[in-house]
């Protein structure tokens, strides 16, 4: 993934270097979040517990990036006299990494769900939930490409993709809620309800990232 195309003012080369480093760190954090999402999918839908066990380690790395980027943004704001446009970018980055951090948290939650649901037979709704997960992963990837390219149109377009995930959430939830004559315990259904909620929220945060990219480019909040 190439570095973002944001161009800070050439009048302050120290600030320009700091912003470039910040952009690279945001994209590196995004790559880790993508990896965590892929592993959570693998854990839940291929019953790969080794993948699930990787998530806490990755989550710690993501959290470290989150704290460091927030700290760097604050330092730049207070010490480097950024322009109004630079401040807009820094503000968006601080909000954006919060979205990435939350997606990482939800990926860890999905891994925990995968471990808990492992002893039970696969539920008939799993293929539909897997499709929902693929859509949400595609949204995250699209949001990060929009960030790398500072693509306003691509960023705003995520809202339409989010509708697909929202509709899938409603359909699967209705299937789970209306299930009758459940043999044995209901824990698998409850866990799957939690899983689709995680996926729906992950898609929401990917949409937020797209909106923040558009704000960096235009200065207008949607």
Place of tokens 């939350």: 102
Express each pLDDT in 129-150 by its tens digit. Answer: 999 999 999 999 999 999 999 9
Domains of the chain with CATH codes: 13-218 (1.20.58.220)
Alpha-carbon dihedral 111, 113, 114, 119, rounded to 10 degrees: 150
The residues near 160 (Cβ < 8 Å, ≥ 6 apart) are: none
Q: What is the pLDDT of residue 9?
A: 56
Note the pTM of the prediction, 2 decimals: 0.92
Nearest to 26 by CA among 78, 80, 96: 96
How far is C-alpha 74 from the chain's CA centre? 22
Share above pLDDT 90 across residues of the chain, in percent, rounded to a whole number: 78
pLDDT over 90 (residue 6): no
């Amino acid at each position: 993934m190439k570095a973002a195309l944001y161009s800070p003012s050439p009048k302050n080369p120290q600030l320009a270097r700091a912003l470039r480093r910040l952009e690279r760190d945001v994209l590196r954090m995004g790559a880790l979040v993508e990896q965590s999402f892929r592993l959570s999918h693998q854990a839940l839908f291929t019953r790969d517990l080794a993948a699930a066990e990787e998530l806490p380690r990755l989550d710690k790395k993501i959290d470290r990036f989150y704290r460091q980027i927030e700290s760097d943004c604050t330092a730049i704001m207070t010490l480097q006299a950024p322009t109004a446009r630079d401040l807009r970018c820094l503000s968006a980055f601080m909000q954006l990494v919060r979205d990435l951090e939350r997606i990482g948290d939800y990926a860890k939650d999905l891994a925990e769900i995968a471990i808990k649901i492992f002893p039970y037979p696969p539920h008939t709704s799993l293929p539909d939930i897997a499709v929902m997960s693929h859509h949400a992963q595609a949204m995250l990837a699209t949001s990060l490409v929009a960030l790398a390219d500072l693509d306003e149109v691509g960023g705003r377009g995520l809202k339409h993709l989010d509708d697909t995930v929202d509709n899938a959430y409603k359909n699967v939830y209705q299937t789970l809620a209306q299930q009758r004559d459940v043999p044995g315990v209901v824990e698998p259904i409850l866990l799957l309800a939690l899983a689709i909620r995680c996926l729906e929220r992950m898609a929401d945060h990917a949409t937020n990232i797209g909106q923040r990219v558009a704000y960096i480019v235009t200065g207008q909040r949607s």
